[in-house]
Amino acid sequence: MSRPLDEAALRAVLARPRLNRVLDALADPGEETRLVGGAVRDALLGRPVADLDLATTLLPGEVVRRAGAAGLKPVPTGIAHGTVTVVAEGEPFEVTTLREDIETDGRHAVVRFGRDFAQDAARRDFTVNALSVTPDGRVHDTVGGLADLAASRVRFIGEARQRIREDYLRVLRFFRFHARFGEGAPDPEGLAAAIEARDGLALLSRERVRGELLKLLTAPAAPAVAAVMQAAGLLPRLIGGVGDLGRLARLAAAEAEPDPVRRLAALAVRSLADAERLRDSLRLSKAEQARLAAYAGAEAALHGAPAPLAPADIRRLAAIHGAVALADAALVLRGEPAPVLTPEAAETLARFAEGREPVPVLPVTGAALVAAGAPPGRGLGRGLAAARRAWLAAGCPTDGGAKARLEALALAAALGTGEAEAGSEGVGPSQAGAARAGPA
């Protein structure tokens, strides 16, 4: 079924004053500059347009000269490859000289500058990304992008296998763009070419694979496309195992906003070993890997909880695993038999997740124990460990009375004058939920 394209939205983009300042600066009777790529595509679909990219027949040095003469700020961000970022009143515009491919090896391309917009369009990946529009609003389509856009179809330009051989990352981009813009099954020729080229994924940097996969996971049709990729044998090559498609689909239906790391966790993390494998195979950042590791601990604790969890259990788990990991795991596990939260526990978790209540912190510090007479060293560590066990078992109280009792227990354990566990009685709420909440 064909959908109408939003020409009014495209005209509104072309009317933006800062864009017109750049276009006016580059205007010349013998040259041509057009708005290209994603901005044209998204505008015609009625979607928000952020980044505005321009293609021009002007050589990079001339772009720099003209932009400077017009009072704009030219930044040679990729001038060797023909790209100059022109900043107009704080807004950046990437201006790239038309190019022609001379040589490709599946990862990099050798190019030269050209003057033919049709040839420049032909070297792009998908038809919907190869549209361009002149300042007067005339849309140029030499590869069938308008028809594909209206049909919600993502299709390679020319022969799909050749396009992929030029850059194997296009395998992942094919699925990502279909998950974002496509409807129904992926283009058969593109799917067959992507499966055939699966070994080429090993040639790509893990960083590039990570970037594409995380973008794919947040796309509207990510669960359906992940299922296609798993059936084709491509997904296991990326995550090192079979993906949990059910969890990904349930999470996508439950999320208010898509979160790429949480979706990766739902799809591929069942243990700390999974988080560590993904760290290496996808070159995750330290923050991303730490989040997956914390999620793995929270998921195991929640998934193994045998009884309804009470507020004290949620406080304990938040103190152990952190509010973000606990909220991530609870959302991923929604709809599964465990965990079961009482309404009060669900509200406690929501307060932590939304930042309305701080995660409880052990109200005993080493400095306070030393000041009270505890010797530094192993005894101090023993005292803090005893206090933490009692505190967790009691549901993580932080009131003044609990603080005093915990400090007394910790001091006794540090000095070796009391039973380390004895002081847990009377510290706070009932410990009945401690066994239910999972390992500490």
Over residues 195-233, the pLDDT tens digits come to 999 999 999 999 999 999 999 999 999 999 999 999 999
Domains of the chain, residue spans? 1-151, 158-284, 294-353, 366-424
Report the DSSP pairing between strands 132-133 and 139-140.
antiparallel
Any idea which fold 1-151 has? Beta Polymerase; domain 2 (3.30.460)
- Whole-Å CA distances, 347 to 92, 143, 245: 44, 54, 28
> Is the distance from CB of 167 to CB of 204 less than 8 angstroms?
no
Fold equal for 1-151 and 158-284:
no
202 vs 193: CA distance, rounded Å: 16
- Whole-Å CA distances, 56 to 28, 102, 128, 289: 11, 19, 19, 41
> In what helix (H) or strand (E) does residue 400 lie, and over which residues does it extend?
helix 400-415
Q: Is the peptide bond before 339 cis (omega within 30 degrees of 0)?
A: yes
Determine the Cα angle at 218 with ends 343 and 259, to 5°. 40
Spatial CB neighbours of 432, under 8 Å, sequence gap ≥ 6: none
Residue linked to tokens 């038309």: 98
pLDDT at position 105 is 52
Strand partners, 341: 309
What are residue 88's phi and psi, to 5 degrees? -120, 110
Q: What is the pLDDT of residues 345-400, one digit of tens each?
A: 999 999 999 999 999 999 999 999 999 998 889 999 999 999 999 999 999 998 88
Sheet holding 132-133, edge to edge: 73-78, 83-88, 91-97, 53-56, 33-36, 132-133, 139-140
pLDDT at position 416 is 86
Q: What is the CATH number of domain 158-284?
A: 1.10.3090.10
The region that residue 87 occupies, defined by phi over 0 for left and psi between -120 and 50 for alpha, beta otherwise, is: beta
pLDDT at position 115 is 92
Spatial CB neighbours of 142, under 8 Å, sequence gap ≥ 6: 117, 118, 121, 122, 130
pLDDT class of 429 with cuts at 50, 70, 90: very low
> Is the distance from CB of 98 to CB of 114 less than 8 angstroms?
yes
Higher pLDDT: 272 or 418? It is 272
pLDDT at position 422 is 41
Q: What is the pLDDT of residues 315-351, one digit of tens each?
A: 999 999 999 999 999 999 999 998 999 999 999 999 9
**Dihedral of the alpha carbons of 320, 300, 352, 384, in degrees to the nearest 10:** -10
335 vs 373: CA distance, rounded Å: 51
> Is the distance from CB of 130 to CB of 162 less than 8 angstroms?
no
pLDDT class of 439 with cuts at 50, 70, 90: very low
pLDDT at position 64 is 97
Q: What is the pLDDT of residues 130-176, one digit of tens each?
A: 999 999 999 999 999 999 999 999 999 999 999 999 999 999 999 99
169 vs 173: CA distance, rounded Å: 6
pLDDT at position 103 is 56
